[in-house]
Structure 1
């Protein structure tokens, strides 16, 4: 019977050399020259699909200066303070401090300065929209104020809730004292910048000596992520929480997980593809090129170094078989009948053919099953 030695590659061609061998049921034969051996292993195999991605940072934030001057309620005459929690009106002021591009700013650290006063970063999701003081109505902004005071170490004896108490006012005073401003126990809406977490400055729009109006800076979060525009017909590959591999620039690899999957597919704008901009569908355009945004968070962010906007390749698992027997694909022998076999090497060095059924291909290995095949067996492979 004729069989062919074949290095099988999923989706690829195979160079075949015909060999004359005995049928698997015949007596053992001697070892073939020019071969080595490899073990039959029990392992997990995963089939992967590649997608292009871009390394960056999570989140995108624009920091705008408040129309209320920081600590206006702490200044002489409580400039800008309105009765019973009304909004501060503020004044023009002067930018006296700005961060640098690339700087990472954490909670309690200065984002920018106005009139010599530091406007620091606090964490939260509720913008401060009014002056907070004893007697103000309850609200989520009060709770956010107390959460930050507690996190920064000024909340001794403070109960975090939505009620502004005397204990809240005392905590505000301790914070104001540390900043070097008048301790009034009142908190103004321009006193801090609120973002969900630490930020990394990407652009500074403000000018020292200028007015603190409009956008002062742009920033991202600090979590290292990879953003992938995954083809819509491949969106099922991206399952939130699923593990992925990331091939970094320079050939190194790291791991991560799918942290966010968009729910809206976006197609290219094809308005210019037809006369008059009518947007008629062209071959290979429109829905055929629609993509879904996918975000991957790295397990070990330090492995990304300082790279930003660098191209990477993300490997998504499409199929996975656990605890299967596998051999190197180069161990496969394809028969002219369309079946496959491996040449097993017994303990005494003699060889015999064992017919196998093929399963999943991955990582230059192939899942195999067959009568008498078990973990630890040795099979022939071409020598290096």
Structure 2
């Protein structure tokens, strides 16, 4: 028996890119008169695209724009709008959940700066709220196309580099948000990351492949050294090492040494000279073909019999 540190790890192929892609869907009817280039980065207050030569603007926030905002509106979406206006330098109000005359005046100034009609009302579809600055991943429409509610226009991601991996459902234990992982780059360099997002994706049957469900994991790069190391790559294949559990300084035996006991549970054969005894054990972490065990008579240096 050995005393060692066990790690329950698994490596998976992954892709270095910019993380999860989302789709921007049109809501305003009209003609597309401006679209961004793939790879363009759009920050708060900047136009993402234009319909009938009027911009649709990126603002930051977690709550999607779902209604018109005007004098008398109340709620967290009002605060979200006001916080953005304040961040863009508009004044005369304090961000709260009430859309007042002061809010409307700030909105009119903002609309004037954008070249929009100064209504003091923010119509649905004029703003796309995102978690932060975005990067255009690809276009699903062309200049001159007609757009309207539900029309897919483009896909986008965040601007931070991220790694995306897929795991089998049976490896769900490995995918815990906030868990540290190791990312191995194409040149062999290893950098540290952290699981930032976990989702379940269903893949339909295709050709000879059966339908399957996977766990999609997005890994963020957690330190400056890691972010600097990936600057040489746009998109590239990488490897991610996930660690589900670690047990330090524990007694282990090969998994093959475990015996199923008639009364239930597991035991091992302890061999001493020409004699042997069977003792029950409590199992812990399984990893790398070995298993953590404890129990009466289980000590470092004891010899465990192996089935023949």
Q: TM-score range by the shorter chain?
A: 0.5 to 0.7
| Conserved 8 A contact 1:96-1:115 | yes
The correspondence for 1:117, drawn from 54, 57, 72, is 54
Residue in structure 2 matching 1:142, options 52, 66, 78: 78
The alignment status of 1:152 with 2:88, answered yes or no, reads yes
Per-residue CA distance 1:45-70 (angstroms, 9 max, x = gap):
967432222222223222222235xx
Structure 1 pair 298/114, CA: closer, same or farther in 2 (3 Å)?
Answer: same
Q: State the 1:268 CA deviation.
A: 8.1
**What does 1:1-384 align with in structure 2 at a 5 Å threshold?**
48-67=9-28, 92=30, 94-134=31-71, 136-154=72-90, 156-213=91-148, 214-262=151-199, 269=205, 291-299=214-222, 300-305=226-231, 307=233, 309-318=235-244, 320=246
Secondary structure of the 1:305 match is helix
CA distance 1:306–1:123, change in 2 (3 Å): farther
Q: Does the 8 Å CA contact 1:57/1:308 hold for their aligned counterparts?
A: no
* Inter-CA distance 231–99: structure 2 relative to 1 (3 Å threshold): same
Q: Which ranges in structure 2 are unaligned for 5 or more consecutive residues?
A: 251-270, 273-286, 289-299, 301-308
CA displacement at 1:243 relative to structure 2: 1.4
Gaps of 5+ in 1: 1-43, 69-91, 274-278, 280-285, 325-336, 339-360, 363-369, 371-384
Q: Return closer, same or farther for 1:318/1:206 CA change in 2, 3 Å cut-off.
A: closer
The structure that has the greater radius of gyration is: 1
Structure 1 residues 127 and 233, CA, compared in 2 at 3 Å: closer, same or farther?
closer
Shift of 1:130: 3.7
Q: CA deviation at 1:112?
A: 1.0
In structure 2, relative to structure 1, the CA distance for the partners of 1:112 and 1:258 (3 Å cut) is: same
Distance 1:294 1:126, change over 3 A: closer
Query: Is residue 201–residue 214 contact of structure 2 (8 Å, CA) maintained in 1?
Result: yes
- TM-score normalised according to structure 2 size: 0.67
Counterpart-to-counterpart distance in 2, 1:138 and 1:238: 39
Give yes or no for contact 1:261–1:295 (8 Å, CA) kept in 2: yes
Does the 8 A contact of 1:232 with 1:265 survive in 2? no
Deviations 1:245-282 (A, max 9, x none): 110112222110122334x5868859968xxxxx8xxx
Whole-angstrom distance in 2 between the partners of 1:207 and 1:250: 38
Give the drift of 1:319: 5.0
CA distance in 2, matches of 1:317, 1:298: 16
Larger relative strand fraction: 2
Q: 1:304 to 1:185 in 2, by over 3 A?
A: same
Mapped partners of 2:198, 2:26: distance in 1: 32
Change over 3 Å in CA distance of 1:208–1:157 after alignment to 2 = same
Residue matched to 1:33? none
Give the TM-score taking structure 1 as reference length.
0.55
RMSD after superposition: 3.7
SS at the partner of 1:304?
helix
- SS of 1:126's partner is coil
How far, CA to CA, are the matches of 2:206 and 2:144 in structure 1? 46
